């Protein structure tokens, strides 16, 4: 709605994705690990969300290279709390793995996930090559990521678009329901607005 700062839910979901990706890498789960952002049908909104996400990663990268940057980043992404939540729900990782996961988290932030808009103005010509470009992806879009587009390694879904009434689109958006290994599925999370939460 024209706001200049990203929704808190967007930042919270990105923080979760970073920690979950670090855990997935530590457990040697099969990559890629993907964050799907489906905010609206408008390409202008896709640009706005991409800019918000890119700016957030710029902020995290700056923290890494500042004095005591690692501890600031861990605090900023709420690392300890997220690890506790994940451990309480699915029983891993144990405390001995925390430092290794912290190292993985720093590597993920240093490399920065590949952030891509996929819409009518930004088509993917060679899909296999696209997924091979990075182990960690953030994709933003609408219709172009609904019909016939498989999101590999889907871990986090951020969905705030009106559910609509077209059965094909509804079923495609519900891809967050499965097709992953148990470990991968256990790390998967949804961020849905009230309309989508009630609908699904």
Q: What are 82-93's pLDDT values in tens digits? A: 988 887 776 655
What is the predicted pLDDT for the residue at 21?
A: 93
Residue 50 predicted with pLDDT over 70: yes
C-alpha span between 20 and 86 (Å, rounded): 9
Q: Distance of CA 101 to CAs 20, 33, 105, 107, 112, Å?
A: 9, 15, 6, 10, 16
Chain-wide mean pLDDT for the chain? 84
Q: Residue 2: left if φ>0, alpha if ψ -120 to 50, beta else—which one?
A: left
What is the predicted pLDDT for the residue at 98?
A: 79
Give the confidence band of 122 by pLDDT, cuts at 50, 70, 90.
Answer: confident
Buried b / exposed e across 152-181, counting CB within 10 Å, b at 16+? Answer: ebbbbbbbbbebeeeeebeebbebbeeebe
What is the predicted pLDDT for the residue at 9?
A: 95
What is the predicted pLDDT for the residue at 118?
A: 86
Buried b / exposed e across 4-33, counting CB within 10 Å, b at 16+? Answer: eebbeebbbbbbbbbbbbbbbbbeebebbb
End-to-end CA distance of the chain: 24
Q: What is the dihedral of CA 171, 173, 174, 177, to 10 degrees?
A: 130
pLDDT in tens, 147-199: 667 788 889 999 988 777 777 767 777 766 655 667 777 888 999 989 888 88
Residue 46 predicted with pLDDT over 60: yes
Kindly state the DSSP code that residue 166 receives in the 8-state scheme: -
Kindly state the DSSP code that residue 31 receives in the 8-state scheme: S
Mean pLDDT of 110-119: 89
Stated as kind and residue range, the H or E segment containing 54 is: helix 43-64
More confident residue, 156 or 69: 156
């Amino acid at each position: 709605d024209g706001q200049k700062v990203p929704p808190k839910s967007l930042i919270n979901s990105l923080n979760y994705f970073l920690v979950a990706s670090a855990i997935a890498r530590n457990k040697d789960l099969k990559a890629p690990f993907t964050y799907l952002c489906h905010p609206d049908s408008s390409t202008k909104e896709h640009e706005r969300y991409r800019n918000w996400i890119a700016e957030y990663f710029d902020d995290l990268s700056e923290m890494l290279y500042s004095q005591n940057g690692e501890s600031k980043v861990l605090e900023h992404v709420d690392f300890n709390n997220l690890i506790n939540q994940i451990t309480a729900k699915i029983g891993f990782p144990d405390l001995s793995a925390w430092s290794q996961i912290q190292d993985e988290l720093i590597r993920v932030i240093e490399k920065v996930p590949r952030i891509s808009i996929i819409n009518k103005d930004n088509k993917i010509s060679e899909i296999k090559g696209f997924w091979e470009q990075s182990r960690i992806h953030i994709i933003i879009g609408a219709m172009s990521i609904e019909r016939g587009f498989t999101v590999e390694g889907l871990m986090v879904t951020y969905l705030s678009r009106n559910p609509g009434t077209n059965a094909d689109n509804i079923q495609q958006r519900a891809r967050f329901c499965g097709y992953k290994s148990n470990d991968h599925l256990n790390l998967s999370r949804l961020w849905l607005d009230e309309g989508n939460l009630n609908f699904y």
